[in-house]
A and B are shown apart, each in its own frame.
Chain A
């Protein structure tokens, strides 16, 4: 096994693990976009508050990790539901661009509130993942995969499987898709459309928060961690804004590409690689790889 090949495999594995976290957050974005057509630019900040809630509950309030995780997710979901009910529901009918601007403002407010509560200093999260690294057999050698990366991949895969099962067999999945396709028609068959909106925001916030806790446990948290949202917007545009499968594939793809870029070109260029891919995809498939609807011109 040549060292170059081993590097490639190890960077690929690490990239796919980061990609899985992109995918999970991307799902949080897509669920909201699908139901409400709102482009949630604050998606990275939703990750951030999830991570800080966990930090506050586990490190500061000294709750057991499992309880802190559950409570942090519930708190994030509450924030999502609250924002939908009192801000975004009032903006129904406003132009896509004004609602998008509101989410940009929201992102700054969330950063501000986090800095007031926890200051801007980076912090590390209590570890709750096992710390034995994975060794993936590879011919005569073994590829190394950091424990936290490997475990977050496994957790994301489990959450995704739950998502897919629920949306296939539960009537609420049909309500979401019906609302996504045609709001008036959804109302006309008795679907509680505002209820679907609330549900989407709550679910989107919980999903992003879960990803935030995992990201934070790998690389620590800070009030600037929401900047990851930029890569995420690329992920969901590449995948097609309204496609859950697209978020999954787009997330893995961008995660892997960024890792490849930092291996072969250098870490500081990985964002460049991301945006080159974005351009290429938009030129070839303007609706994203899996998207069905026009991406609104902003």
Chain B
């Protein structure tokens, strides 16, 4: 499953997104993902990260949102009017924020549901074993109801569904949400493995900036619907603003782990001054 690197697999060009015909959330956002890379998209609450991913996977129509300007290209093709399920079948998989597993279906049935992503492909066999190799804990709970899994296991199931779909690009929205630090480490190790072993490109949205940059090749930082800083991970890690506001370097003894803490820190600073 090798993907020629150096090619751009996803290119978002100057898009604007409006909800309910009134609330503008994205204001000329551009970013691109090179094939085979992990690209991090960071930003504070409400910056528009989830909206960006939904614009790509064409889910905005389901919540009265619309792209009003700009273009989105996946493997060179304009995908703004492609139906969401058709995009998935074409290799673009969105692991949505909050995991969104089917709670009253079993683990197996959740994975079977994802085999719809293989419709219309040449080799349409679903590889359940591969999922259980990445996530042995899911194998033990195959027949269990997904709604009763722990948060971490549900995230594994969400990633497992993506693996079944054998995508070329995964849009991943906050995989660390609500997980303990140990589990976050485990999930990110697997994200990196999926990228390395299967050559899947990943656009990774995260609040946990340090963790995201530890696996990514390239990063974008957005504020209020626009990209404000971008660069290689090395460049971002060296940037003063990024260090202060996203990685929390130089603040306190242990440093801050995520932007939530930074916001807290900023608030405190305001109070004190």
A contacts, CB < 8 Å to B? 93, 171, 174-175, 177-178, 181-194, 292
* Nearest opposing residue in chain A for B96, CB measure: A188
- Among B59, B62, B161, which residue has its beta carbon within 8 angstroms of that of A189? B161
Q: Is the CB of A177 within 8 A of B102?
A: yes
Chain B's interface size range is 20 to 34
Complex Cα distance, B161 from A177, in Å, reads 16
Q: Is the CB of B85 within 8 A of A192?
A: yes
B contacts, CB < 8 Å to A? 57, 59, 62, 64, 83-85, 88-89, 93-96, 100-105, 109, 112-119, 161, 165
Query: Please, which residues of chain A bring their CB within 8 A of the CB of B105?
Result: 174, 177-178, 181
Q: What 17 new A-B contacts, CB under 8 Å, besides A188-B93, A190-B118?
A: A171-B115, A174-B105, A177-B102, A177-B105, A178-B102, A185-B100, A187-B62, A187-B85, A188-B84, A188-B95, A189-B117, A190-B85, A190-B88, A190-B116, A190-B165, A192-B119, A193-B84
* Nearest opposing residue in chain A for B104, CB measure: A181
Complex Cα distance, B62 from A93, in Å, reads 7
Query: Please, which residues of chain B bring their CB within 8 A of the CB of A191?
Result: 85, 113, 116
- The smallest beta-carbon distance between A128 and chain B, in angstroms, is 39
- The smallest beta-carbon distance between A244 and chain B, in angstroms, is 13
Q: Is the CB of A190 within 8 A of B102?
A: no
Complex Cα distance, B100 from A171, in Å, reads 19
Complex Cα distance, B164 from A171, in Å, reads 15
Q: Is the CB of B100 within 8 A of A184?
A: yes
- The smallest beta-carbon distance between A126 and chain B, in angstroms, is 43
- The smallest beta-carbon distance between B53 and chain A, in angstroms, is 10
- Among B102, B116, B118, which residue has its beta carbon within 8 angstroms of that of A182? B102
Q: Is the CB of A186 within 8 A of B96?
A: no
Q: Is the CB of B102 within 8 A of A185?
A: yes
Q: Is the CB of A189 within 8 A of B104?
A: no
Q: Is the CB of A190 within 8 A of B62?
A: no
